[in-house]
Amino acid sequence: MATHKLLLLPGDGIGPEVMAEVKKVVGWLDSHGFASFSIEEDLVGGAAYDEYGVPITDEAMARAFNADAILLGAVGGTKWANVAFEVRPEAGLLRLRKDLQLFANLRPAMCYPALADASSLKRDLVEGLDVLIVRELTGGVYFGEPKTITDIADGQKRAVDTQVYESYEIERIARVAFELARTRSNRVVSTEKHNVMKTGVLWKQVVSEVHGSEYGDVALEHQLADSCGMQLVRNPKQFDVIVTDNLFGDILSDVAAMLTGSLGMLPSASLGGVEEISGRRRALYEPVHGAAPDIAGKGIANPIAMIGSLAMALRYSFGLGEAADKLEAAISGVLADGYRTADIYSDGMKKIGTSEMGDAILAELGKAA
Ligand code: NAD
Ligand code: IPM
Ligand code: MN
């Protein structure tokens, strides 16, 4: 059996807490013959800053390049509120995304049947929800230059961020969205602000061209990003795949997360190109949520987004679709049995902590094995 090289970057806040549950699942899959893993672990974010003065070291980057897949917990927190912008915890994650060219971020928002009442929207609006947000991850205003704050006259300051997209970046993310739509309900909504932004004009044009020349069989609709946000909470089930830029994708995926009950539910895959020699696709898997400083250290974080990210790694990086299905079924089973972390708790359910949720998922896996 092939051994998969997995790099774990737990990070900050609840990152290490939810990663501990993933380690249990990885151990279980290994010991039950589903897969064989060799695991390395390193620091990222504030944890790396505290140790080395940078949010990710060159050594950790080298490990990332060498891994078959990376699992990242979360970075950031109030402790690092005053560190220099260039070495803030988030810069470690952004370097990973940029240097590994992980341009396609898949953020699936699925409402598990047992959680339809945990959403802030009415049950009939979210029951059966299955939206995939395809977020461009290595361009746009996150990385555009110049990015500065300068002093101008009379004690005033000027801050500049730059939104840049080149057509190749839009083309490749559009293709990912259309390809994935073909494996789902064959519908894509592309969202931008072409009424205000030149990057929006180019985005709409390029997505339309890729559609016209290669994906005429997929239904394509364009929506302005503000309207798309409104439609996501008005009638989320109208969507199949949403393709959008880096910043709109960040915002819309937090919105979509709440439709499923909690930010603690949403996994993601950040995928790059296929390496020529190894044939391996660069990939990092991370929950959509952050370090959650408000609940860190309390043992109450929901580990499902992190464990769901492992399921995505099994499917997209390791060709272990069956194990991924099993893991997702175990998550669904545990929720159906009424187990809930605090973020998805409602009256009459069984309230448990992070580690009990991991154990419950392992027990469910055990039943199915
Ligand atoms: P957050 O996602 O950390 O938290 C938002 C809210 O959701 C909080 O109330 C939190 O308790 C709750 N929440 C998040 N994940 C949860 C989970 N698994 N279980 C239960 N509740 C959960 O966003 P924020 O508070 O805006 O950001 C905190 C820090 O995290 C910031 O420094 C930010 O930059 C960073 N961040 C990192 C990532 C990442 O590493 N990928 C993502 C988002 C935010
Ligand atoms: C996310 C996060 C990151 C982003 C931050 C931590 C840099 O919010 O992954 O959604 O803005 O992309
Ligand atoms: Mn975000």
Query: 77 labelled as ligand-binding?
Result: yes
Residues 17 and 97 in one domain: yes
Residues 174 and 197 in one domain: yes
Residues 231 and 297 in one domain: no
Encoded tokens for 21 = 């549950």
Residues 240 and 273 in one domain: no
Q: Which residues contact 313 (CB under 8 A, 6 or more apart)?
A: 6, 69, 71, 269, 283, 285
User: Measured on CA atoms in the order 203, 209, 210, 215, is the torsion positive or negative?
Assistant: positive
Specify the range with the lowest mean pLDDT, choosing from 81-85, 115-119, 139-143: 115-119
Would you name the residues annotated as active-site residues? 142, 193, 226, 250, 254
**C-alpha distances in Å from residue 138, one per residue of 11, 43, 163, 169, 257:** 20, 22, 12, 9, 21
122 inside domain: no
Distance CA 99, CA 104 (A): 13
Residue type, 245: D
242 inside domain: yes
228 inside domain: yes
Q: What is the mean pLDDT of the chain?
A: 96
Q: Which residue has the higher pLDDT, 350 or 1?
A: 350
Percentage of the chain lying above the pLDDT 90 cut: 94
Report the number of distinct structural domains present in the chain.
2
Residues 85 and 157 in one domain: no
Of 259, 277, 311, which one is at a domain's C-terminal end? Answer: 259
Say yes or no: CB of residue 16 within 6 Å of ligand 1: no
CATH number of the domain within which 235 lies: 3.40.718.10
Going by alpha carbons, the residue nearest to atom 33 of ligand 1 is: 76
Q: Which residues contact 271 (CB under 8 A, 6 or more apart)?
A: 102, 103, 104, 105, 106, 176, 281, 282, 283, 316
Region 202-228 average pLDDT: 98
**Residue among 88, 93, 147, 286 whose CB has most ligand 2 atoms within 8 A, to mutate:** 93
Residues 199 and 293 in one domain: no
- The pLDDT of residue 113 is 87
Residues 254 and 196 in one domain: yes
Residues 237 and 294 in one domain: no
According to DSSP, residue 236 is labeled G
Residues 301 and 240 in one domain: no
Residues 24 and 100 in one domain: yes
Task: Give the tens place of pLDDT for each residue, 28-45.
Answer: 999 999 999 999 999 999
- The pLDDT of residue 1 is 77
Encoded tokens for 152 = 């101008």
**C-alpha distances in Å from residue 254, one per residue of 67, 168, 248, 268, 344:** 28, 27, 10, 12, 16
- The pLDDT of residue 80 is 98
Number of the ligand 2 atom closest to the C-alpha atom of 94: 7
Distance CA 308, CA 311 (A): 5
Q: Does pTM top 0.95 for this prediction? A: yes
169 inside domain: yes
Residues 284 and 360 in one domain: yes
- The pLDDT of residue 369 is 67
Of 197, 228, 259, which one is at a domain's C-terminal end? Answer: 259
Region 207-212 average pLDDT: 98
Task: Give the tens place of pLDDT for each residue, 318-348.
Answer: 999 999 999 999 999 999 999 999 999 999 9
Of 225, 259, 293, which one is at a domain's C-terminal end? Answer: 259
Report the 10 Å Cβ neighbour count for 242: 29
243 inside domain: yes
121 inside domain: no
Say yes or no: CB of residue 305 within 6 Å of ligand 1: yes
DSSP characters over 31-61:
HTTS-EEEEEE---THHHHHHHSSSS-HHHH
Residues 325 and 244 in one domain: no
Q: Which residues contact 115 (CB under 8 A, 6 or more apart)?
A: 260, 261, 265, 335, 344
13 inside domain: yes
Residue 289 alpha carbon to ligand 3 centre in Å: 7
Phi-psi region of 299 (alpha: psi -120 to 50; beta: other; left: phi over 0): left
Range of the domain at 85: 1-112+264-369
Flag whether pLDDT at 368 surpasses 80. Answer: no
